[in-house]
Amino acid sequence: MRIPRTRGAISGLLLVVLGAWGALVPFIGPSFNFTIGPDASWHMTSGRFWLSLLPGVVTLVGGLLVLLSANRATAILGAQMALAGGIWFVVGPTLSVLWSTAGPPLGQAGRPLGGEYRQMAELLAYFFGLGAAITAFAGLALGRMTLRTVRDAELAAAGNGAAAAPRRRTGRFARDRDRTSDRERVAEPAAVGAPAGTATAPTRDEGVVRGPVDRAEERTTAAPATTGRRGGLLGRFRR
């Protein structure tokens, strides 16, 4: 079903921005001393790929689907993708402890650098705060995409009406068929709309069913036989 493109404009745009930030911040953060893990810009590690780049790209693609799609099913899929990316930003670093040799609390992501306030900002901007914001906006977009409004029903009705409109055939055979239909419609009231009082039971003569019109023609034809001139002597005196 079609939906207005403006329905997911704001939430889709925010998801695109947040997804791009989550995918790029590990690679550009070390340039201004804002990093978790290796202190090197544009340095790819397995932790940065699985915990930042992958969920960031998934969130970005989902946000684009929400932002640009006018189809309800596609927009819902995009919101679900962004929701999955946001949840992974939150739980991914903790789950990475299971397959990483690094210790808790961030496992494969590495340790934040700097003082206490700086480490808090890095944890929020890289994972926990970012994931919470993405989850909130994705949930909002998902709710708006599943909502069916009066405008959605009008768009669906308009689309169904345009699809169900019959296509008029053109050509000689179509024109002949239309003229035949017009003649049938003109002739129909004479038979259907006849007064009920004039209808009589048809009579049978030699296997042919005759109605009121046939009997009237017979009377008209037989009338001159009774009023014609008589021959012989009596007829001469009457003239």
pLDDT digits (tens, 9 = 90+) for 44-54: 999 999 999 99
Say if residue 214's pLDDT is above 70: no
What pLDDT was estimated at residue 206?
47
44 phi/psi in degrees, rounded to 5: -85, 130
- Percentage of the chain beyond pLDDT 70 is 60
What pLDDT was estimated at residue 14?
97
The rounded distance, in Å, linking the Cα atoms of 118 and 125 is 10
Mean pLDDT of the chain: 77
The rounded distance, in Å, linking the Cα atoms of 80 and 86 is 10
Model-level pTM?
Answer: 0.63
SS3 track for 52-86 = HHHHHHHHHHHHHHHHHCCEHHHHHHHHHHHHHHH
User: Is 77 exposed, middle or buried (CB count within 10 Å of its CB: 0-12, 13-18, 19+)?
Assistant: middle
Element (H, E) at 203: strand 203-205
Where do the structural domains in the chain lie, given as residue ranges?
5-156
